Structure 1
Amino acid sequence: MKRILLASTLILVSLISNSQNFEVETLKLSGETNKRINLVILSEGYQSSEFDKFKTDATSFMTDMFTQSPFKEYTNYFNVYIIKVPSNESGSDHPGTASDVSEPASPITTADTYFNTSYDSFGTHRLLYSSDYATISTVLANNFPEYDQSIVLVNSDVYGGSGGTFPFTSTGTSANEIAIHELGHSMFDLKDEYYPGDALAAEAINMTQETNPSLVKWKNWIGTNNIGIYPYASSGNAANWNRPHQTCKMRYLGYDFCAVCKEGMIEKIHDLVAPIDSYNPVSNTLEPNTFPVNFGLNLIKPVPNTLESTWTLNSNNVANNVDELALEASDFNEGENTLTAVVFDNSPMLKIDNHNTIHASTVTWKINYSSLGIEDMTTKENSFNIEMYPNPTENTINFTFKNRNNSTLKIEIATIDGKIINSTSVANLETKSIDISPLQSGIYLANFYTDNAFVGSKKIVKQ
Structure 2
Amino acid sequence: MLLAAAVLPAGVELVGPAPFGAFGPPADRALPPQGAAGRRAAAQHGEAPAPTVDIRRTGDPANRITLVLLGDGYTADQQELFHQQADQAWRALLEIEPFRTYQDFFNIRRVDVVSPSAGIAEADTRGRRPGTPLGMHFWCEGTARLLCADEAATARYAGAGSGPQYLIALANSTEYGGAGGTGVTTLAGGSPEAGRIIQHEIGHTVGDLGDEYDSAPDDTDYPNLSGQNADMMLREHTKWWRWLGAQSPDGGGLVGAYRSANGIYRPTEDSVMRTLGGAYNLPSREAIVEQLYRRVTPVDGTEPVAGPVVGRPRLVVRPLRLTGGRSLQVEWKVDGKPVQPQSPDHTWYDPAALPLAPGQKVTVSATVRDTTDWVRDEAFREQRMTRTVSWVLTG
Work out which of the two has the higher radius of gyration on C-alpha atoms and give 1 or 2. Answer: 1
Name the CA shift for 1:168/1:3 in 2 (closer, same or farther; >3 Å): closer
After superposition, the C-alpha distances for 1:139-186 in whole angstroms (9 at most, x for unaligned) are: 1226x5755101100010011111222111002121111112111111
The equivalent position to 1:314 in structure 2, one of 322, 331, 335, is: 335
Does the 8 Å contact 1:40/1:147 carry over to 2? no
SS of equivalent residue, structure 2 residue 276 = coil
Which amino acid is the alignment partner of residue 167 of structure 2?
S
Number of the residue aligned with 1:141? 159
**In structure 2, what is the Cα distance between the partners aligned to 1:261 and 1:19?**
39
- More RCO (CA 8 Å, sep 6+): 2
Number of the residue aligned with 1:158? 175
The equivalent position to 1:179 in structure 2, one of 190, 198, 205, is: 198
Q: CA deviation at 1:14?
A: 6.5
Query: Where in structure 1 are there 5+ consecutive unaligned residues?
Result: 99-109, 371-463
Higher-helix-fraction structure: 2
Number of the residue aligned with 2:375? 350
Number of the residue aligned with 1:301? 321
- Number of corresponding residues: 341
After superposition, the C-alpha distances for 1:380-421 in whole angstroms (9 at most, x for unaligned) are: xxxxxxxxxxxxxxxxxxxxxxxxxxxxxxxxxxxxxxxxxx
Which amino acid is the alignment partner of residue 248 of structure 1?
S
Name the CA shift for 1:326/1:208 in 2 (closer, same or farther; >3 Å): same
1:169 aligns with 2:195: no
Q: CA deviation at 1:262?
A: 0.9
Q: CA deviation at 1:81?
A: 0.9
Query: Where in structure 2 are there 5+ consecutive unaligned residues?
Result: 1-29, 249-253
Name the CA shift for 1:196/1:278 in 2 (closer, same or farther; >3 Å): farther
After superposition, the C-alpha distances for 1:247-276 in whole angstroms (9 at most, x for unaligned) are: 111111000111111111111112211122
SS of equivalent residue, structure 1 residue 193 = coil
Q: CA deviation at 1:357?
A: 4.3
The equivalent position to 1:223 in structure 2, one of 241, 245, 265, is: 245
Q: CA deviation at 1:20?
A: 3.9
**In structure 2, what is the Cα distance between the partners aligned to 1:39 and 1:196?**
30
Higher-strand-fraction structure: 1
Number of the residue aligned with 1:243? 266
**In structure 2, what is the Cα distance between the partners aligned to 1:14 and 1:50?**
21
Does the 8 Å contact 1:76/1:302 carry over to 2? yes
Which amino acid is the alignment partner of residue 86 of structure 2?
A
**In structure 2, what is the Cα distance between the partners aligned to 1:20 and 1:41?**
17
After the TM superposition, which residues 22-421 of structure 1 pair with which residues of structure 2 at under 5 Å, given as runs? 22-96=50-124, 112-130=131-149, 132-141=150-159, 146=163, 148-163=165-180, 164-171=182-189, 172-195=191-214, 197-198=216-217, 201-211=219-229, 212-214=232-234, 215-224=237-246, 225=248, 226-233=254-261, 238-239=262-263, 241-282=264-305, 288=311, 293-303=313-323, 304-319=325-340, 322-328=346-352, 330-332=354-356, 334-351=359-376, 357-358=381-382, 359-367=385-393, 369-370=394-395
Does the 8 Å contact 1:90/1:112 carry over to 2? no
Q: CA deviation at 1:128?
A: 1.3
After superposition, the C-alpha distances for 1:95-137 in whole angstroms (9 at most, x for unaligned) are: 2589xxxxxxxxxxx973112221122222111113x222112
SS of equivalent residue, structure 2 residue 362 = strand
Does the 8 Å contact 1:129/1:161 carry over to 2? yes
Which amino acid is the alignment partner of residue 140 of structure 2?
S
**In structure 2, what is the Cα distance between the partners aligned to 1:342 and 1:324?**
12
Q: CA deviation at 1:305?
A: 2.5
Does the 8 Å contact 1:220/1:355 carry over to 2? no
Number of the residue aligned with 1:442? none
Greater shift in the superposed pair: 331-340 or 224-233: 331-340
> What's the % identity of the aligned pairs?
23
Name the CA shift for 1:186/1:221 in 2 (closer, same or farther; >3 Å): same
Which amino acid is the alignment partner of residue 374 of structure 2?
M
SS of equivalent residue, structure 2 residue 363 = strand
Does the 8 Å contact 1:188/1:265 carry over to 2? yes
SS of equivalent residue, structure 1 residue 187 = helix
After superposition, the C-alpha distances for 1:346-398 in whole angstroms (9 at most, x for unaligned) are: 1122236x66542211211122x23xxxxxxxxxxxxxxxxxxxxxxxxxxxx
Does the 8 Å contact 1:13/1:134 carry over to 2? no
After superposition, the C-alpha distances for 1:65-115 in whole angstroms (9 at most, x for unaligned) are: 1121111101111111110111111111122589xxxxxxxxxxx973112
SS of equivalent residue, structure 2 residue 314 = strand
Name the CA shift for 1:86/1:263 in 2 (closer, same or farther; >3 Å): same
Does the 8 Å contact 1:275/1:299 carry over to 2? yes
Which amino acid is the alignment partner of residue 223 of structure 1?
G
**In structure 2, what is the Cα distance between the partners aligned to 1:73 and 1:259?**
14
SS of equivalent residue, structure 2 residue 184 = coil
SS of equivalent residue, structure 2 residue 294 = helix
Query: Aligned-pair RMSD on alpha carbons?
Result: 2.9
Q: TM-score, normalised by structure 2?
A: 0.78
**In structure 2, what is the Cα distance between the partners aligned to 1:285 and 1:251?**
53
**In structure 1, what is the Cα distance between the partners aligned to 2:380 and 2:307?**
38
Does the 8 Å contact 1:91/1:111 carry over to 2? no
Name the CA shift for 1:248/1:168 in 2 (closer, same or farther; >3 Å): same
